[in-house]
Amino acid sequence: MRKRNQYTTPLILYRVRKSLKFALLIALLMIYLIPIYGMFSLAFKPRAEIYSGLFELTRITLENFEEAYRYGAYSAITNSIIVTVGGVSIALILAVLASYAFSRFAIKGKNILMFYILSTRMMPPITLIIPIFIMFFNIGLKGTYLGLILVYAMMSIPLSIWMIKSFIDDIPKDIDQAALVDGHSTMFILFKIIIPMVIPGIAASAAFAAIMLWNEFLFALLLSGVDTKPTSVLLSSIRGERGFNWGRVAAIEVVYILPIIVLVFWLQKYMLRGLTFGTVRR
Amino acid sequence: MSKSEYVIQVKNIVKTYNGKIVLNNISFALKRGELLAILGPPGSGKTTLLKIIAGLVKQDAGDVIINGRIVNDLPPYERGVSLVFETLALYPNMSVYENIASPLIAEKKDKEYIDKRIGEITRLLKIEHILDRKADKLSGGERQRVAIARALAKEAEIYLLDEPLSNLDAKIRYALRTEFKKLKSLLGKTIILATSDPSDALALGDNVVLLFNGAIIQEGRPSDIYYAPRNISIARYLTGNILNEVSISIDTHGDDVSTDIGREFSIDPYFLKVLREVNETSIILTSYADVCIIDKFIENCSGIKVIGEFIGYEYRGSEYLLYARKERRIFRSLRTNLPNVTFGEKVEVCIPHRNALLFSSKTGDLIR
């Protein structure tokens, strides 16, 4: 048997501490994973067995998904994709241009402007909804894709600017200056040199914006129409003939979260970089 | 000499950042085909000066004149200059070919011309085999060569090189130094090279400008700078602080000479006469390591000779740097062979009066 000495005791302590941390992490993970498992379980259960217990899954069926289709879930998912992709695209185009300007040009009151842009995100969205609703109603944007896309772009721009700017700040100004000495225009520098270098930043920013817009409910509820209703609004309005149809709700939710799971897995390395932006001096 | 004979004239350039003067009244001129080395420690204003010449930084006062034309308000690409950045500033998302072709694409040259020019330059710099590689996948030496190639691809009047040999290992550094000399003689281009390494400046420059704290403190040919530094701080800087120094006090009324290495030394009568003639009571005698001699016995020392203790040596490729101590002073001597002495053994140190430099203790200025 190994003798206890000054070196083995801390090692044992280290292992105990590590095991405890691991157990704690597993417990925390379960808090998040159990509801997701429950959702998948409900979605694939036959309707008759819905109340048989969350973890019991005796037979797998797609009948809930068929019912979700009949209920219009797939057109709602399409609407969600349209407004999210539209909003993110417009936000990114404007954010890249603004970030480059903020990062590279001497703009008077730059810091105040940057703070102002960020402060628009600090405002509770509910305070904006009435003026936007009236404005969109008057100019015919209420109930249209374009209306939601514009609002979503407005919501995504501040964080995108802050995030993309931090990535551009990381690129040495010597690179822009080298291109200027070579004889290139500012547009060439932005599109051919800077943007390819900040693709990870743009991807991270796109992922965060997409997650935010995909889950957005308030503006979607008030500004979408019958044909442009996204999934978040559809989910809130589900009513069965005899109370709630949990299987159908779970099936819609499964389809609803899949694009986001795929997006997160696809862009996770960029998102991690995006989460730490501004925290490390580079 | 008419103005047009100068390719570039820099006149009374002043630049301040946040109220701090970083360049103070800088002036110099270069003729076609000359290589000027701007030598100074980090933070002395070299990069700012090159960027002002390139048009990337605006000066507060003074003029940059290229081919007789004031270019203060011209954008970088209209000045006819090319710049190798200290950071190299390669475009990491582009291939080596695209990096080198960048100035030619900006000039809207046709593909045939671009290929021909890139072929010539890459052959010259021996990087034709890495044209397809991405710039961020290159070694330090390759990156340096690509940056130089990109600068050379542009048909410029003046090439500005900011620390082109920094951060390179000794082997690549010496190889690139030779290549610079070859390039200069082959292409006949006017070059301004900024460096904080005295050996690079002295080896490459036709002329050297010494920039300390944003001001030119000495300029001239490399040999003038090396053998007649205006101030002891310049001499220390040129040798990387391994200057042999002895403080000497002279009683001008008598024969008494005292030093900070004690009284055990012998001095050549001619040298004593020289010391008296300088008319200073307190001087610092200095010599470079390549002039000083450290050996077991030195028969003829036409200067000042002391007995010291051998404390070690460094092998430097073709030479040895020997160390000896006397009192609190350390003496260094560059020799091609090792003397037959062991550590701690007594050795003789000779500072010959020829090539010895005398500085005033009070001002630090060169006396002789």
Measure CA of the first residue to CA of the last residue in chain B; give whole Å. 32
Q: Is the pLDDT at A231 greater than 60, yes or no?
A: yes
Q: Are B365 and B283 in contact (CB under 8 A)?
A: no
Query: Which residue in B51, B83, B162, B192 has the most chain A C-beta atoms within 10 A of its own C-beta, making it the best mutation to test that interface?
Result: B83
Q: Is the pLDDT at A58 greater than 50, yes or no?
A: yes
State the pLDDT at residue A136.
93
B186: in domain: yes
Between CA B30 and CA B119 the distance in angstroms is 30
Are B332 and B211 contained in the same domain? no
Average pLDDT of the segment spanning A230-256? 82
Q: Are B70 and B239 in contact (CB under 8 A)?
A: no
Between CA B79 and CA B66 the distance in angstroms is 7
B268: in domain: yes
Q: Is the pLDDT at A239 greater than 80, yes or no?
A: no
Are B262 and B192 contained in the same domain? no
Residue A190 DSSP code: I
Number of Cβ within a 10 Å radius of residue A102: 21
Nearest by Cα to A41 from A26, A27, A56: A56
State the pLDDT at residue B255.
65
Q: Are B159 and B193 in contact (CB under 8 A)?
A: no
The band of A280, judged by pLDDT with boundaries at 50, 70 and 90, is very low
B368: in domain: no
- Which two tokens mark B363? 């001002």
Q: What is the mean pLDDT of chain B?
A: 88
Q: Is the pLDDT at B12 greater than 70, yes or no?
A: yes
State the pLDDT at residue A240.
58
The band of A277, judged by pLDDT with boundaries at 50, 70 and 90, is low
Helices (H), B58-214: 96-106, 111-125, 140-153, 170-187, 198-204
Say yes or no: B103 contacts chain A, CB-CB below 8 A.
yes
Contacts of A61 (CB under 8 A, 6+ apart): A44, A45, A46
B87 contacts A181? CB cut-off 8 A: no
State the pLDDT at residue A249.
87
> For residue B279, what are the domain limits?
237-360
Pick the residue with more confidence: B71 or B182?
Answer: B71
The band of A281, judged by pLDDT with boundaries at 50, 70 and 90, is very low
Interface of chain A toward chain B, CB-CB under 8 angstroms:
172, 174-175, 177-184, 188, 193, 196-197
Max distance between CA atoms of chain A, in angstroms, equals 84
Q: Is the pLDDT at A173 greater than 70, yes or no?
A: yes
Number of Cβ within a 10 Å radius of residue B178: 11
Nearest by Cα to A114 from A170, A150, A158, A154: A158
The band of A118, judged by pLDDT with boundaries at 50, 70 and 90, is confident
B367: in domain: no
Q: CB pairs below 8 Å between A and B: how many?
A: 58
Average pLDDT of the segment spanning A82-109? 95
B232: in domain: no
The band of A278, judged by pLDDT with boundaries at 50, 70 and 90, is very low
- Which two tokens mark A66? 């068929």
State the pLDDT at residue B167.
67
Q: What is the mean pLDDT of chain A?
A: 87
**Identity at B359, one-letter amino acid code:** F
Between CA B143 and CA B281 the distance in angstroms is 54
B365: in domain: no
Are B169 and B267 contained in the same domain? no
Are B8 and B119 contained in the same domain? yes
Q: Which of A119-123, A277-281, B161-165, B212-216 has the lowest mean pLDDT?
A: A277-281
A184 contacts B56? CB cut-off 8 A: no
Are B179 and B272 contained in the same domain? no
Are B208 and B259 contained in the same domain? no
pLDDT tens-digit readout, B99-128 = 999 999 999 999 999 999 999 888 888 888
> Across-strand partners of B220?
B208
Q: Is the pLDDT at A246 greater than 60, yes or no?
A: yes
- Which two tokens mark B124? 């010259």
Are B300 and B169 contained in the same domain? no
Average pLDDT of the segment spanning A129-133? 91
State the pLDDT at residue B259.
83
B192, B209, B227 - which closes a domain: B227
Q: Is the pLDDT at B154 greater than 60, yes or no?
A: yes
Q: Is the pTM of this model over 0.95?
A: no
Q: Which of A80-89, A133-142, B18-27, B345-354 has the lowest mean pLDDT?
A: B345-354
B227, B258, B280 - which closes a domain: B227
Pick the residue with more confidence: B338 or B172?
Answer: B338
CA distances (Å), origin B100, targets B4, B96, B120, B315: 31, 6, 12, 39
Q: Is the pLDDT at B368 greater than 90, yes or no?
A: no
Are B118 and B266 contained in the same domain? no
Q: Which of A112-121, A138-147, B64-73 has the lowest mean pLDDT?
A: A112-121
B258: in domain: yes
- Which two tokens mark B86? 């200290």
Contacts of B361 (CB under 8 A, 6+ apart): B247, B280, B282, B283, B284
State the pLDDT at residue A274.
64
B110: in domain: yes
State the pLDDT at residue A279.
44
B89 contacts A175? CB cut-off 8 A: yes
Q: Is the pLDDT at B165 greater than 50, yes or no?
A: yes
Please state, for a pLDDT cut of 90, what percent of chain B lies above it. Answer: 51
Contacts of B90 in chain A (CB under 8 A): 175, 178
- Strand duo B81-84 + B158-162: pairing: parallel
Contacts of B303 (CB under 8 A, 6+ apart): B267, B268, B271, B350, B351, B352, B353, B354, B356
State the pLDDT at residue A6.
56
CATH number at residue B26: 3.40.50.300
DSSP symbols for A191-237: IIIIHHHTHHHHHHHHHHHHHHHHT--HHHHHH--SSS--HHHHHHT
- Measured in angstroms, the CA of A188 and the nearest CA of chain B are apart by 9
- Strand duo B20-31 + B329-335: pairing: unpaired
Contacts of B94 in chain A (CB under 8 A): 193
Edge-first strand order for the sheet with B357-360 is B257-259, B244-250, B282-287, B357-360
The band of A282, judged by pLDDT with boundaries at 50, 70 and 90, is very low
The region that residue B259 occupies, defined by phi over 0 for left and psi between -120 and 50 for alpha, beta otherwise, is: beta
ipTM: 0.82
Number of Cβ within a 10 Å radius of residue B218: 18
Are B218 and B260 contained in the same domain? no
* A41, HSE (Cβ side, Cα atoms, 13 Å): 16
Residue in B with minimal Cα distance to A183? B77
Are B216 and B287 contained in the same domain? no
Q: Are B51 and B26 in contact (CB under 8 A)?
A: no
B75 contacts A174? CB cut-off 8 A: no
pLDDT tens-digit readout, B276-296 = 777 778 889 899 998 899 998
Compute and round to an integer the Cα radius of gyration of chain A: 25
Average pLDDT of the segment spanning A48-61? 76
B227, B258, B286 - which closes a domain: B227
Q: Is the pLDDT at A90 greater than 60, yes or no?
A: yes
Are B261 and B166 contained in the same domain? no
Average pLDDT of the segment spanning A111-118? 88
Are B12 and B144 contained in the same domain? yes
Q: Which residues of A51-60 are buried (b: 16+ CB within 10 A; e: fewer)?
A: eeeeeebeee
State the pLDDT at residue B5.
81
Average pLDDT of the segment spanning A86-98? 96
pLDDT tens-digit readout, B135-149 = 888 888 888 889 989
Average pLDDT of the segment spanning B307-331? 89
CATH number at residue B300: 2.40.50.140
Number of domains in chain B: 2
The band of A276, judged by pLDDT with boundaries at 50, 70 and 90, is low
Contacts of B249 (CB under 8 A, 6+ apart): B257, B258, B259, B281, B282
